[in-house]
A and B are shown apart, each in its own frame.
Chain A
Amino acid sequence: MNRTNKILRYVSRRLLQGIPIILAIIVLNFFLLNLAEGDAVDVLAGEAGSATPEYMEQLRAKFGLDKPLPVQLLVYLKNVVTLDLGYSFRHDMPVSKLIVDRFWPTLLLMVSTIILAVGFGILLGLLAAVSLNTWKDAVITVFALITYATPLFWVGLMMIVVFSLNFGWFPTSGMENIAAFHEGFDRVKDIAHHLVLPTITLSLFYLALYTRMMRASMLEQYGLDYVVTARAKGLTERRITFVHVLRNALLPVVTMAGVQVGALIGGSVIVESVFAWPGLGMLAFESLFARDLNLLLGIFLLSSALVVAVNLIVDVIYSFLDPRIEIG
C-alpha cells in the first residue's frame, strides 16, 4: 500500500475517533441545559411578561419539553446533527446562523494570532537556544516568564491605555470603522488596523509558551548523537543549527500549536470582550449578560468541534512532516 493511501486511511480512522468525542460533548451539553434553572418556556414567558400556567403547559407540549428525558435527548441529538442549535430570543435569530456570522472575525483573529505567536515563538526560542546563557537568552527567558504569568485582559487594557489613549496609534475597539463606509482595499486596511492590538494581546501568552518550548526542544536536540556525528563530519555550527537541529526541534512545537487551540478559544473570549471584537467570544460575553443559555451552549459546542477538527488537521500535518511517525 502506498503512502497517500495510508494517510487517507489514517485520516478516516481519526475522523471516526472524533465522532464519539463530539457525541459525548453534545450529551454533556444537553445535561448542562437541563441543569440550568428554568427551561425555554420560562424564558419565553418571562419575555412575554405574562403567561398563564395553561399556556405554558401548551408551549411545553409544543416544544416537546413534557416528554421524558431520554426522548428529549434524542430529539436534541437529532437537532444538533441537523445543525439546529435552537433559537436565540435575544437576537431574534437561529443560534446556528448567529454563530456562523460571528465565526469569521474570530477565525481571522485566531489565524493571525497563531501566525504571530508561532512565528515569533520559534524565532525567539531559536535565538535563546543558540545564545545559551548569554544576556540574550536571559532577556528572552525573563520576557517569556513574565508574559506567561500576565492575565490577557489586563494586557489588553494596558495596550489600550498606552497605544490607543496615550499615543492614539490604534483604535480602542471594534473591527472596522463602520461610519467611514470603506470599500475594497481601504476596508481591508481598516480591519487590519483594528486587528493589531487584539492580535498582539492574544499572541503574548502563546508566544511565551512557544518560546519556552522551542528553546527546550532545541537544547534537547543539541544533546543527541546525530549532532555529534554532524560535528565530527566537520559541518559548520550554522549548518548544524539550521539544517539539522531546527527541523527536528520544530516537531513538538507543531503538536503544541494543535493542543493549544482550546486555550486559544478561551483567550479569544477575553480579548474579544476587551476590544469589542465582534466574534464568537464577544457573542459569548453578550450572551452571559442576556442570560441566553442556548446561544452560550451553541458557542461551546462549536468551539469543542473546532478543537477536535484542528487536532485532526495537526496530526495529519505531523504525519507529513515526520515520516517516522507510524500511521498504518
Chain B
Amino acid sequence: MIDFWKRFSRNRSAVFGLAILLTVLFVASIASLIYPEDPFRLAGKPLSGPGLNGFLLGSDSLGRDVASGIAHGAKTSLLIGLIATLAAVFIGIIFGAFSGYYGGRIDDLLMRVTEIFQTIPSFVFAILLVAIMKPSIESIVIAITVVSWPGVARLVRAEFLSLKNREFVQACHTLGMSDLRIMLREILPNCLSPIIVIGSLMVATAILIESGLAFLGLGDPNIMSWGFQIGAGRTMLRSAWWVCTFPGIAILITVLAINLVGEGLNDALNPRLRERQ
C-alpha cells in the first residue's frame, strides 16, 4: 500500500486531481448540512448576482440558490457516476470473462453482441433509453450502464485471453478446480489493475453523460443536478451568466480531477508501462 502510494504520488498532477476529488466528495457529503433546505426551494430574490442578497454564487430566475444546487448536484453526479460504472464493470466482466475464457462459439456470440452495442452511438442511445423509460434516477443509471459496458467487456476479454493459457491456470486445471472458480478466484484478480483504471475513467464519462442528459431535460425532476441547472439557466444567459457558468465549472473540475486520478492509477498500477515512456 505504501509502495502503491509512493508510485502514485510520483505523478504530481494525479495527487492534485485526488485533492480536488476529495474536496468535491467533501462538499457532496456535507451538502445537506450547509444547505439543509431543498435546493429547488425559492431562497430569495431571483437573478441576484454572485455575492448579492446573501447568495454566494447568485440565484436563478426562480430564486433558487446556485451554490446550494451545486453542493447537492455534486452528490447526484458522483452517485450516478459511481453506481453506473460499478454496474457497467460488473456486466463487462461477465461478458469479457466468459468470452475470453471459453472462446469459440460463446466468444463469437458475446463479441457480436458487444460489437452491436459499440456501434450504436452511445449518447443518442442513452437519450432514447431515458426517454422511453421516463426520466428518473434509475432510468439514467440504467441508460449509462447500457452504453458503457462494452469497453470493459473488450478489455476483460483480452486479459482473460492472455492469462488463460498461463502455467498457473493450467496448474489449477490439474488440481481439478471448477471453471467458475478459476475465472473468479485465479484469473480475475490478476486483471484487476486495468479494470480499476478503465473504471475510474468511466466515472468521468458517466458524469459527463448524466450532465448532458439533464441539460436536455432528461434528468430526474426531483433531484438537483449540474446539468439541470445549466439547462434551466440557458434562457437567462444574457442577463444572468452565473447560473450557467458555475455548475459548468463544477462539472469541468470534477471530471478533470477524476481523469487525472485515473491516469495516476494507470501509472501506479502498470509500472512497466511507465518505464517504457
- Which A residues form the contact surface with B (CB < 8 A)? 20-21, 24-25, 28, 32, 35-37, 145-146, 148-154, 157-158, 160-161, 165, 219, 261-263, 265-267, 269-270, 273-274, 284-285, 288-289, 293, 296-297, 299-300, 303-304, 307-308, 311
Contact = CB atoms under 8 A, between A and B. Distances in A.
Interface stretch (B61-69, B187-195, B238-246): B238-246
B256 A149 contact: yes
B116 A24 contact: yes
B28 interface: no
Interface string B211-238: 1100111100000000100110010011
Contact of B128 (A157, A165, A300, A311): A300
Contact of B277 (A219, A303, A307): A219
A165 B124 contact: no
B112 interface: yes
B132 A307 contact: no
The listed residue with most A CB atoms (<10 A of its CB), out of B125, B128, B237, B252, is B128
A266 B132 contact: no
A149 B252 contact: yes
Given A161-B237, A165-B238, A263 B230 contact: no
Nearest to B134: A37
Contacts of B132: 32, 35-36, 293
Given A36-B132, A145-B259, A288-B217, A307 B237 contact: no
B221 to A, nearest CB: 14
Given A150-B252, A154-B251, A297 B128 contact: yes
Contacts of A263: 121-123
B123 to A, nearest CB: 3
B251 A151 contact: yes
Which secondary structure dominates chain B's binding surface? helix
Interface of B: 112, 115-116, 119-129, 131-134, 204, 208, 211-212, 215-218, 227, 230-231, 234, 237-238, 241, 244-245, 248, 251-252, 255-256, 259-260, 277
A304 B128 CA distance: 13
A308 B125 contact: no
Contacts of B231: 153
A228 B241 CA distance: 55
Given A35-B133, A289-B217, 13 more contacts: A145-B256, A146-B256, A149-B204, A149-B252, A151-B208, A153-B211, A157-B230, A161-B241, A165-B237, A262-B120, A266-B122, A270-B212, A270-B216
A285 B251 contact: no
B267 to A, nearest CB: 14
A126 B195 CA distance: 30
Contact of B115 (A21, A145, A158): A21
B168 to A, nearest CB: 31
B243 to A, nearest CB: 10
Contacts of B216: 269-270, 273, 285, 288
A305 to B, nearest CB: 10
A154 B112 CA distance: 36
A171 B47 CA distance: 25
A83 B120 CA distance: 19
26 contacts: A28-B116, A32-B129, A35-B132, A37-B134, A145-B260, A148-B259, A149-B204, A149-B255, A150-B251, A151-B227, A153-B215, A157-B230, A157-B234, A161-B237, A161-B244, A263-B122, A266-B122, A266-B124, A273-B216, A284-B124, A288-B127, A288-B216, A288-B217, A297-B128, A300-B120, A300-B124
A315 to B, nearest CB: 13
Q: Which 3 A-B pairs have the closest CB atoms?
A: A266-B123, A154-B248, A262-B121
A145 to B, nearest CB: 7
The listed residue with most B CB atoms (<10 A of its CB), out of A32, A154, A265, A266, is A154
A303 B133 CA distance: 21
Contact of A152 (B212, B218, B238, B259): B212
